[in-house]
Amino acid sequence: MSTATGTPGAGEWAVRADGIGKRYRRGWALRECSFRLPAGRICGLVGPNGAGKSTLLGLMSRQLQPTEGELRLFGTPVDDPAVMPRFAFLGQDKPLFKRFTVAETLRMGGELNPGWDMAAAERIVRSGGVPLDARVGTLSGGQRTRVGFALAFGKRPDLLLLDEPMADLDPLARDEMGTLLMAEAVERGTTVLMSSHQLTEVEDMCDFLLVLSGGRVRLAGSADELLPAHTLVTGLAPDGTPPPELAAHTVVEVRTEGRQFQALIRASGPLPDAWSVDRPSLEEVLLAHLRSPDAPALYVPDARTAEGITTP
Ligand SMILES: Nc1ncnc2c1ncn2[C@@H]1O[C@H](COP(=O)(O)OP(=O)(O)OP(=O)(O)O)[C@@H](O)[C@H]1O
């Protein structure tokens, strides 16, 4: 609920992280992560291998405990058992009992989860033509993923945490599961946080983005705001080096090829007329940030916690 002042109430943030960090024996996997994710969004969690995505999802799904900082789901601290019914987690390996039939698996879901929606779970399984009497061990990877989705959605979570759940699917099954995921999430207003290395999938499905690199947040915000903040500029680099005028802007990435440069920037003022200016695609913005892990971070206001995060 919004308050009278229009400030969102605590429950409107599906996730709120204040300075969270996670240290393993080898070192920090996540450090000083502060962001918030508004409820009802489909958020892509993007970052190179080892960026900390699984660790972050592990903290949110209570499989790991933060070393520092505070994490809240819908305003409730994540270590409070009251958050348990509010989220469901689905990872790459689906922990299903191979000897159970699909029907038995869904029944077990019902026994473990008080608000279980058997009709929704069966609909997801049936729409993929997965026989209810088949043993889970005999299903294909794609069919098992569908059963995993049925278990996750049957729980009727407010927050669905997905750690590359579609990585083992063929393009057709991926597309089907993506459509199913969006339809179910939109119908119920479920917040989804989904890690993926497939940038086109992120571009197609997600309206909010969280980009991690080296255990830190690099981009956080709605695609609608992050995208227009970036500009792709191209121009001449006569001596093979980027022009000094770039220094007036926040440069995410600059590349030169022969006597030309191309840069993804966040413009701080007018650009030289000699440069050609384009709007980048979301994939171009994401790729540039993945290639330039040290580029200055950007949080749009909705994603910013009250703590002073400085953004260029
Ligand atoms: N159980 C663990 N013990 C020690 N170090 C770990 C453990 N899990 C992850 N790490 C380290 O923490 C860092 C972040 O790993 P994490 O799996 O969270 O990244 P990721 O973004 O999910 O990567 P990927 O895209 O490869 O799945 C890496 O350096 C990794 O080696």
215 CA closest ligand 1 atom index: 14
Residues ≥6 apart with Cβ < 8 Å to 116: 109, 110, 154, 155, 156
| pLDDT beyond 80 at 62 | yes
End-to-end CA distance of the chain: 31
Q: What average pLDDT score do residues 219-245 get?
A: 92
pLDDT at site 306: 59
C-alpha 155 – ligand 1 centre gap (Å): 28
The alpha carbon of 96 is separated from its chain's Cα centroid by a whole number of angstroms, namely: 24
Cα separation, 117 vs 261, in Å, equals: 55
Instruction: Tell me the C-alpha distance between 282 and 230, whole Å.
Output: 10
**Atom 16, ligand 1: residue with shortest CA distance:** 52
If one residue of 20, 25, 54, 193 were mutated to test the ligand 1 pocket, choosing by the most ligand atoms within 8 A of its CB, it would be 54
What letter represents residue 217's amino acid? V
ipTM of the complex: 0.98
* pLDDT, average across residues 241-245: 91
Task: Look up the pTM and report it.
Answer: 0.90
Q: Which of the listed residues 22, 26, 61 should we mutate to test ligand 1's pocket, taking the one with most ligand atoms within 8 A of CB?
A: 26
Strand partners, 74: none
Write the pLDDT tens digit of every residue in 287-310: 999 999 888 888 877 777 755 444
* Chain segment 28-54, per-residue pLDDT in tens: 999 999 999 999 999 999 999 999 999
CA of 116 to the centre of ligand 1 (A): 32
Please calculate the CA angle 297-78-63 and round it to the nearest 5 degrees: 90
Please write the tens of the pLDDT for every residue from 141-156. 888 988 999 999 999 9
In the numeric block, which tokens belong to residue 303?
A: 């994603």
* Tokens of residue 21, six digits: 């960090």
Of residues 238 and 264, more confidence is placed in 264
**pLDDT grade for 171, boundaries at 50, 70 and 90:** confident
Residue 15 has pLDDT above 60, yes or no: yes
